[in-house]
Structure 1
Amino acid sequence: MARVIDVAVVDDDRMLLDGLCSWLSGQRKLRLLGTAATVEELLAGPAAAAEVVLLDLVLRDGSVPEANVRRVREAGSRVLVISTVADRARVVAAVAAGADGYLTKDHALDTLVEAVETVAAGGTVHSPELAFAWFSDTGPARPRLAPRERQVLRDYASGLTLKATARRAGISVNTAKYYLDQVKEKYRQAGRPAHTKIELAQRAHEDGFHT
């Protein structure tokens, strides 16, 4: 039997929320624990135990998106941010704060189910909108990499060994390692650490540096 994922929804658009709840009630893979108009309301109720929270990017209570993400994550849930409008700066801030993915609300509902499953399994949802938000971002969360740093990151993150990465770039292994260390330091300073190869691959994907 397939595992059922407990979800909660934080959204203050009543019409959209009612429609989403009606649809979720018919899903065998997802179980709706509850809904809330604010993160404060979510955390005060039983729905705070959800594995995955679908969190609207901009709520009318004036709360800050990245602060909402952090509070939900600190409560133990993973976060899939959803929104009607792709506000690039806020999307970037929310993901940098710990959101596990981002989708606009015009995606097919089947796509939403797949996204929730990915997030519940510990993955990240890399939608085209998220990739575009990272790629278009000029804020400090997206480090400025020199062309050679981007090349080394891209090749190494694609699965090549450090030696093969150096060979492709026409540089020594020590030089390739230097560039890679520079990339890691820039991501650390941007508040998005990338210590492992898997994390570097994730950052490269998020920022549009992958091939």
Structure 2
Amino acid sequence: MSSSEPASTTVPSEPAPGSPVRLALLDDHGLIVDSLASWFTDNAPDFTVVLRATNWMDLIRSPEFPVDLVLMDLQLADNVSIESRIRACRAAGAKVLVVSALDDEASRERCISAGAAGFVSKTLPAGELAELARRVARGERLRRGSSGRAVDATESAMTEDTDSAHLSPAEERALRLYAQGYSTVEVAERMDVGYETAKTYLRRVREKYARAGRPASRKSELIRRAAEDGLLE
């Protein structure tokens, strides 16, 4: 196992109802980390900043890791790729929102394809960033706006309501497995649920995409939806 990955793998889960979101801040500028931590502590009681880190290894080696959500800088002064960092967090059960000074499509696509729930600009006011973090913590995925650039709070609010399928963690995992080539029976086995339960998850996935105006009745369409939403490893 690579030293850049956590020691164990769990299924991503939602924070317990009513409990604060356990938040980690990862940025190689300590002043940014401290400033965000202070803002969340003073203004967002639905979050608890349990981990501050200025490098990748400090994050994953902390006894507080994994957390519910990581706000992660795109560029760190280490040799671990953003894709590896995102996938390691996702494998450990943590959602990821990438916060970057770069506002380019290539960087955004790299992050979303690796499994990040969103890619936003560091220029956002802290209040807007917190609102996006809430939505990611609830299981939403922030999609790009019609301009094709990294989303900001206004664009994500418009696009998320119109074309997001709002999949639950179980539905998302069923889709990931199914899109990777596993049969419904194998999806059920890997999720340790009954066949009918796995079948229901996949039916709900198709229905949710259909309601969002993104057809997914055929397997090829379902795989395309998964790829668009960054659910394929």
Aligned equivalents of 2:85 and 2:213: distance in 1? 38
Aligned length: 156
Aligned equivalents of 1:92 and 1:109: distance in 2? 24
Aligned-residue offset at 1:129: 9.4
> Does the C-alpha gap of structure 1 residues 131 and 48 become closer, same or farther in structure 2, counting only changes over 3 Å?
farther
Corresponding position of 1:31: 48
> Does the C-alpha gap of structure 1 residues 160 and 94 become closer, same or farther in structure 2, counting only changes over 3 Å?
closer
Aligned equivalents of 2:116 and 2:100: distance in 1? 13
- State the one-letter code of the partner of 1:9: L
- Tell me, yes or no, if the aligned pair for 2:98 and 2:116 is still in contact at 8 Å: yes
Question: Which of 124, 127, 137 is residue 110 of structure 1 equivalent to?
Answer: 127
DSSP 3-state at the match of 1:48 = coil
> Does the C-alpha gap of structure 1 residues 38 and 184 become closer, same or farther in structure 2, counting only changes over 3 Å?
same
Q: Does 1:54 align with 2:71?
A: yes
> Does the C-alpha gap of structure 1 residues 104 and 133 become closer, same or farther in structure 2, counting only changes over 3 Å?
closer
Aligned-residue offset at 1:128: 4.0
Q: Does 1:11 align with 2:27?
A: yes
Question: Which of 146, 168, 193 is residue 226 of structure 2 equivalent to?
Answer: 193
Pairing 1:60-79 to 2, within 5 Å after superposition: 60-79=77-96
Question: Which of 65, 70, 87 is residue 104 of structure 2 equivalent to?
Answer: 87
Q: What stretches of structure 1 of length at least 5 have no aligned partner?
A: 135-155, 163-175, 195-202
RMSD, aligned CA? 3.2
- State the one-letter code of the partner of 2:136: V
> Does the C-alpha gap of structure 1 residues 62 and 181 become closer, same or farther in structure 2, counting only changes over 3 Å?
same
> Does the C-alpha gap of structure 1 residues 31 and 160 become closer, same or farther in structure 2, counting only changes over 3 Å?
closer
Q: Which protein has the larger Cα radius of gyration, Structure 1 or Structure 2? A: 1
Aligned equivalents of 1:46 and 1:33: distance in 2? 10
Aligned-residue offset at 1:193: 3.0
DSSP 3-state at the match of 1:60 = coil
Pairing 1:77-156 to 2, within 5 Å after superposition: 77-126=94-143, 128=145, 131-132=148-149
TM-score of the aligned structures, taking structure 2 as reference length: 0.57
Aligned-residue offset at 1:87: 3.5
TM-score of the aligned structures, taking structure 1 as reference length: 0.63
- Tell me, yes or no, if the aligned pair for 1:8 and 1:50 is still in contact at 8 Å: yes
Q: What are the superposed Cα offsets for residues 51-106 of structure 1, whole Å, 9 maximum, x if unpaired?
A: 00001111111321111101111111010110112132122111101101111111
Aligned equivalents of 1:122 and 1:42: distance in 2? 22
Aligned equivalents of 1:107 and 1:6: distance in 2? 21
> Does the C-alpha gap of structure 1 residues 6 and 183 become closer, same or farther in structure 2, counting only changes over 3 Å?
same
- Tell me, yes or no, if the aligned pair for 1:55 and 1:80 is still in contact at 8 Å: yes
> Does the C-alpha gap of structure 1 residues 105 and 75 become closer, same or farther in structure 2, counting only changes over 3 Å?
same
Q: What stretches of structure 2 of length at least 5 have no aligned partner?
A: 1-16, 152-208
Question: Which of 38, 43, 46 is residue 60 of structure 2 equivalent to?
Answer: 43
